[in-house]
Amino acid sequence: MLVRDAMSTVILTLGPAHTLRQAACLMSGRRVGAAVVLDPDHSGIGILTERDILNSIGAGHDPDRESVGAHTTNNVVFCTPEATVQEAAEAMALGGFRHLIVLEDGGPVGIVSVRDVIRCWVRARSSLAA
């Protein structure tokens, strides 16, 4: 099975100037655990996860004053839609993270999460048992 079959194609995109509260509200509203961060002043694509927000609040930061840019992970591991779900799962396990941005032609086309991987594997195992 390919990442293309597992990934979510509805991507929440944030800018670095959003506050963490704005990010949390948008992520909660969309029911997503990660957002792609695009910064027009810097090359590259970053990611902000719910864990980044939790870590900031846990450290006593004010979510109305903290910017997304200050908590974005910029050294992101990516995959392509043609990668296998197994490869994506291995990358997440090796890196200790739960989301991978899916790139095609240099831009984000989706996000694959551990939840997506589990859903695919459960579906595949169910079809084998039938």
Residue 63 carries which DSSP code?
Answer: T
Confidence of residue 60 (pLDDT cuts 50, 70, 90): very high
- pLDDT of residue 129 exceeding 80: no
Domain of residue 77, CATH code: 3.10.580.10
- pLDDT of residue 127 exceeding 80: no
Domain of 63 in residue numbering reads as: 3-129
Asked if 46 and 76 touch (Cβ cutoff 8 Å), the reply is: yes
Q: Per the structure, how many domains does the chain have?
A: 1
Instruction: Provide the CA 41 distance to its chain's centre, in angstroms.
Output: 21
**Exposure string for 118-130, b = 16+ CB within 10 A, e = fewer:** eebeeeeeeeeee
pLDDT tens for each residue of 17-35: 999 999 999 999 999 999 9
Query: What are the φ and ψ backbone dihedral angles of 65, each rounded to 5 degrees?
Result: -110, -25
| pTM assigned to the model | 0.89
pLDDT tens for each residue of 78-107: 999 999 999 999 999 999 999 999 999 989
> What tokens appear for 6 in the block?
């597992």
